[in-house]
Amino acid sequence: MSKIRGMRGFLASSIGVTCAAALALPLTPPAFAATARPVPAAEAARPAPHAGTPATTPSDRRAAEPSAAGSTQSLPLEPLTRDRATPSAPATEQGLPRRAVRHFSLVGVVWDDPDAELHGRVQVRTRTAGTGTWSGWQDVETHNADHAADPDTPERASGRVRGATAPLWVGDSDGVELRVRSESDDSAADSAGHTSGTRNLPAAPPLPSGLRLELVDPGEDDAASSGDEEEPRAAGGANAENSALTENSALTGTSAVAEASAVNADLAPFGATEIAALSRTETEQEYLALNAGELTERQLQAKPYVGPRPGIVTRRGWGANEGLRESGFRYTKKVKAAFVHHTASGNNYRCSQVPSLIRSIYRYHVKSMGWRDIGYNFLIDKCGKIYEGRAGGVAKPVLGAHTLGFNSNSMGIAVLGSYGATKPSKSAVKAVARLTAWKLGLYRVNPKGKTYLKSAGSNLHRKGKKVRLNVISGHRDGFKTECPGRKLYGKLGSARSKAARYQGR
């Protein structure tokens, strides 16, 4: 009780008006740091990893010890081949031989320079925990630089950001093998069978420096785990374009939980795991309440074009460790457009695993890639469930890191999976329409319309250019990329039409 009374005093001084609500919220335990505590009995009961081939080294045996829940193993890559003629030249193939490791569920590769590109192929094999079965080689999406904070923003200039592949979900695993091969674009096309005949191909470019394999264990849902919350990182620097930043930059993990929940207090009870769906009438009443001080008399009298609010799983609902992210929130001015993405993390997940998948992506974005929080504003699974992404409030214009060059005045929606060759589910497309009908409606935007956004600089639109875009656009409309995949991109017309209908247009 004395600890609770001490926390009550701290919260009253640090977050003011949210203190009473914070005390009503059960203290949310953390996802644990990689080596921060002894392994509890529940984790020690995990089956030991199966014997590796070849025999494990002492360092492999240490890595194979039971994992602390919610952790990241970061393993430096080794040269796999060298040019015999110039043995001192950088290796064009790096990786890791087959080895036993602590439990993990998601993989990715990072490197030092966020502006460097990995030209080549990344492939991984993993061993399923419990059965000892090794997967075949799986490709990891290498072109991921287009998912990032805008140039010249504090998040981009923090000094923590790294280059990275997209993450790949592999499920509970305890063994790994990796190979990264440098390839010129022409040789990659040849290997894919796009050209024929004999010709001189350009030399493969060097691989980026500082390559590391990231193995992410999502840990348990915070509501079911125990221990001390990680300290949230202090915010770095002033925000560009007058985006707001909350004052308290050194909140404890507990108050970070309160902070993340308080920003949705107008929509759901404090500490809620889900924001409930509303009817059209209830949504219109909510719209008028949220915009009471901004609407003209004419707008107050007119029928609002806003879709019924869908149900949204909150960060607390998917078990976010609020101590991982940077403290405070950053906002842009408004929401004029929605960019649709796919996570390129594979489709081999069950909908019951989605909280773990999102916790893994969150940890990868923050701990491995160096971002202030998960990059997307919302995530949608293949069963059509919608999840809150970056903290700051689902109805607010939270500044994300999803579409390099166009994060301002927009929101990013990521459909979990890879949709280059796989069709998105009807449920997922419907969820995109329902979410955009509501969120864009709050800002009086027609989902079937066009809008102008000013580019902050991308490989498709120069910095400062005003670009005319669909209000609901694919990531590839703002950046030269395959995202959100050909099959999902082809469904955006349907999503626009459905969203407009949900708004009553």
Q: Which helix (H) or strand (E) holds 363?
A: helix 354-363
Report the pLDDT averaged over residues 171-190.
82
Q: What is the pLDDT of residue 359?
A: 98
Q: What is the pLDDT of residue 109?
A: 98
Judged against a pLDDT cut of 90, whether residue 187 lies above it is answered with no
Contacts of 484 (CB under 8 A, 6+ apart): 340, 341, 342, 415, 419, 474, 475, 476
Burial 480-495 (b: 16+ CB within 10 A, else e): ebbbbbeebbebbeeb
**How many Å apart are CA 475 and CA 257, to the nearest integer?**
31
Contact 449, 321 (CB under 8 A): no
Judged against a pLDDT cut of 50, whether residue 400 lies above it is answered with yes
- Confidence bin at 83 (pLDDT 50/70/90): low
- Confidence bin at 201 (pLDDT 50/70/90): low
Please report, for residues 84, 120, 184, 188, the alpha-carbon distance to residue 203 in angstroms, rounded to integers and kept in the order given.
15, 12, 7, 12
Rg (CA), the chain: 23
Report the pLDDT averaged over residues 410-421.
96
- Model confidence over 292-327: pLDDT tens digits? 777 777 777 778 899 999 999 999 999 999 999 999
Please report, for residues 120, 154, 195, 412, the alpha-carbon distance to residue 401 in angstroms, rounded to integers and kept in the order given.
25, 12, 37, 8
- Confidence bin at 184 (pLDDT 50/70/90): confident
pLDDT above 90: percentage of residues in the chain: 59
Q: Token pair 């080689």 is at which residue?
A: 137
Give pTM, 2 decimals: 0.80
Residue 117: Cβ within 10 Å count: 14
**How many Å apart are CA 107 and CA 248, to the nearest integer?**
33
Contacts of 412 (CB under 8 A, 6+ apart): 338, 339, 341, 375, 376, 377, 378, 389, 400, 402, 403
Mean pLDDT of the chain: 81
**Would you state the structure tokens that stand for residue 418, as one six-digit string?**
């890879």
Q: What is the pLDDT of residue 295?
A: 77
Judged against a pLDDT cut of 60, whether residue 63 lies above it is answered with no
Q: What is the pLDDT of residue 478?
A: 86
* Phi and psi, residue 274, nearest 5°: -150, 140
